[in-house]
Structure 1
Amino acid sequence: MEKENFKIVFLYTELAGYTLSCLNHLSITGAEIMVFRYPVNKEAPFQFKENSKINFFDRKNLTQPEIIKMISEFKAQIIVCSGWIDKEYVKICRHFKKLNVKTVLCLDNQWRFSVKQLLAVMASPFLIKPGFKFAWVPGKSQRKFVSKLGIKKENIFEGFYCADTVSWTLMFDKFSSSKENKFPRKFIYIGRYYEFKGLEELWKAFSDFSAEFPDWELWCLGTGDLVPAEHPKIKHFGFVQPADLEKFVGETGVFVLPSRFEPWGVVVHEMVAAGFPLILSNEVGARETFLQEGENGFVFEKENVQQLTGIFRKMALKTDKELLQMGTKSNELSQKITLSSWVETISKMINV
């Protein structure tokens, strides 16, 4: 891996496990990294192993002038900011953009022509665009939004969200032989337990499907305010730390994400890297990159229980060989965005 000597600052709200994997990979290049972040989300209480090569700071304990002073002393070359929820983050970027420091806006919102988005477009020349030279988004569906905010097309990059492709591909390699011997008749959902995740439709569709295919199970991992459905073939495991997911990867076969709203969904990238066939709603943004209809999975219309039930049947009627081929295709598609390409994008922005 080519050594870098640049200094980079990340202004984050939530810090997820996959983000830390990207930062760790970046640190290997020799880059100096400073991260400001908020406390861990109680809905997804990830336990992080922090890297001594990365300097982490609690955003809530610092004022805007203090952060500006720290970044100035650090002599950052590029600042990456997650959205504009934290208005002081945006002001910090505006301050440093005037000093010719590269500033990057990151967001995962798909362009939906909503009132809120139209207001953001109208306000952008005064509040958003002055703070940022670049935009870094997950995929094509977000590119349109940042373009409307006034970011030049040549300064918009994709691939901002990236799974730990190395670790998940290792799981694919590890469990390939056991799944060849006997493909697990188990669907798996990983995510929070909220209405917008489409779990009520998932549970209803699986219940209808299960009456015809009783040898299949549905395993659900996550926590939230929805009451878990009671069904002899639906198992609930609560929140599972990323380090403990390997067991579930080895024992399940097909990944399903039925969200009513899902701007991207890094979990999709993780599961394709692990070699899972996919069932995704049409609201899952990551489908545009990681799902090829009929090749490694199927898309259904959000909230359409009948359609989802039909796709469950379609998967259940496939042979083990066909399901394995779909999983292999998933793993191939996962390489569209990798830890290395994530680091390369930062290097491109610095060198523009």
Structure 2
Amino acid sequence: MTQSIRSKKILFLFTELSGYILNSFENALSSGFDIHVINYPVNKEAPFKFTKNKNIYYCDRDQFKSSHDLSIFIKNLNPGAIFISGWLDKNYLNVIRNPSIKFKKILMLDNPWRGTLLQNLWAFYFKLFYKSKFNCIWIPGEPQLKYAIKLGFKKKDIFEGLYTCNNKIFNLKNTLSLTNKSKVLLFIGRYSEEKGIKELWQNFVSINSTLDSKWQLWCVGTGNLWDNRTLDKNIKHFGFVQQEKIIEIISKAYIFVLPSKYEPWGVVLHEMVSIGKPVLVSDNVGSSSCFTNNGVNGFVFSHKKENDFKIKMKKLMELSNDELKKMGKESVNLSKRISVESWVQTLNKIYD
């Protein structure tokens, strides 16, 4: 096999798949890449049903019982580059350290730098035993940049834009006219502590009780807080919804809220600004650094500031329709900072 043919063959050692990453793979395929993916089973809390392109080759992670099995598969595949999703899978890491695996290796990382003792220790350990095995690193954006540097990567070897939303689904053409929006706040995510959903329910009920014209809060998702969800006549719990059916729900909502206490990136924010939603997000949402401009397309709040979440939610709910529409237009402008096209361009730069 010639180098020119092999140079477009790439392998992703992945964890859980998502609709947006599959869309990115499909666009790379259209740009001449031969894509192979090893991936984990679907998350039970988010059992999305994916339509996989038959020209992209997927293998279940469970097929490989050891790093030796993975090494044999990789050497037979003979890819031009290997993209590794983080470091949770020890067999993935063992393959990277295997001296017989000489292909270009790229680390994909979405953890933000938090400066914890564990992160500092791991950064030191990684530089000693793994850094030399990787050619470069691909991160979502600014919140991960410091971590990449701490791991020993030089700025020229750090690429941003790892995640982008599925623009086939999330775009203005797939939503109703702005004039049809109802007074609805929308949350999409897991029902879990780190998503800040309990505070969302509490603040909404409190604020709504003071308003003459009531809002509704629509929540899409499931998780370990489902059985303890707040029941209120103005809160609607949809449960888990497949992606192809979620647009109808999104199109009828006015404002998107993501109050996470920890969110390494949050592609859902990119999805919502692409559709033209004003947003209310916490400063713990990694993608807020890219897709929000505080006071312009919504508000960013801090869980560390007392009542900041509640104050900014109330402020947003009291804005006029014209003010919300203006924010929605600004969201669309910000959404263009990362795209599927830029994702493929970065993939080519990394490979070259």
* TM superposition score category, shorter chain reference: over 0.9
* Match of residue 297 from structure 2: 296
Structure 2: distance between partners of 1:26 and 1:165? 14
Local SS of the residue matching 1:318: coil
Pick from 65, 82, 89: which aligns with 2:85? 82
* Match of residue 239 from structure 1: 240
* Match of residue 94 from structure 2: 91
Structure 1: distance between partners of 2:59 and 2:284? 34
Percent same amino acid among aligned pairs? 38
Q: Is the contact between residue 278 and residue 331 of structure 2 (CA under 8 Å) also seen in structure 1?
A: yes
In the alignment, structure 1 segments of 5+ residues that lack a partner are none
What is the number of equivalent residue pairs in this alignment?
Answer: 344
Structure 2: distance between partners of 1:96 and 1:104? 16
Normalised TM-score (structure 1): 0.93
Higher alpha-carbon deviation: 283-292 or 331-340: 331-340
Counterpart residue identity of residue 221, structure 2: G
Q: Does 1:321 align with 2:322?
A: yes
* Match of residue 175 from structure 1: 175
Displacement of 1:32 in angstroms is: 0.6
Displacement of 1:5 in angstroms is: 6.5
Would the alpha carbon gap of residues 97 and 148 (structure 1) be closer, same or farther in structure 2, given more than 3 Å must change?
Answer: farther
| Map 1:203-222 → 2, pairs under 5 A | 203-213=201-211, 214-222=213-221
Displacement of 1:27 in angstroms is: 1.3
* Match of residue 22 from structure 1: 24
| Map 1:117-266 → 2, pairs under 5 A | 117-169=119-171, 172-175=172-175, 177=177, 179-180=178-179, 182-213=180-211, 214-226=213-225, 227-266=228-267
Higher alpha-carbon deviation: 84-93 or 268-277: 84-93
Local SS of the residue matching 1:142: helix
Higher alpha-carbon deviation: 328-337 or 283-292: 328-337
Displacement of 1:51 in angstroms is: 0.8
Q: Is the contact between residue 139 and residue 159 of structure 1 (CA under 8 Å) also seen in structure 2?
A: yes
Higher alpha-carbon deviation: 130-139 or 295-304: 295-304
Counterpart residue identity of residue 40, structure 2: Y
Local SS of the residue matching 2:170: helix
Displacement of 1:175 in angstroms is: 3.0
Structure 2: distance between partners of 1:158 and 1:22? 15
Q: Is the contact between residue 71 and residue 101 of structure 2 (CA under 8 Å) also seen in structure 1?
A: no
Counterpart residue identity of residue 182, structure 2: P
Local SS of the residue matching 2:105: strand
Structure 2: distance between partners of 1:109 and 1:234? 32
1:45-95 deviations in whole A, cap 9, x for unaligned?
Answer: 111111101110011121322222222222211111110001111222233
| Map 1:273-352 → 2, pairs under 5 A | 273-302=274-303, 306-351=307-352
Normalised TM-score (structure 2): 0.93
Structure 2: distance between partners of 1:250 and 1:175? 5
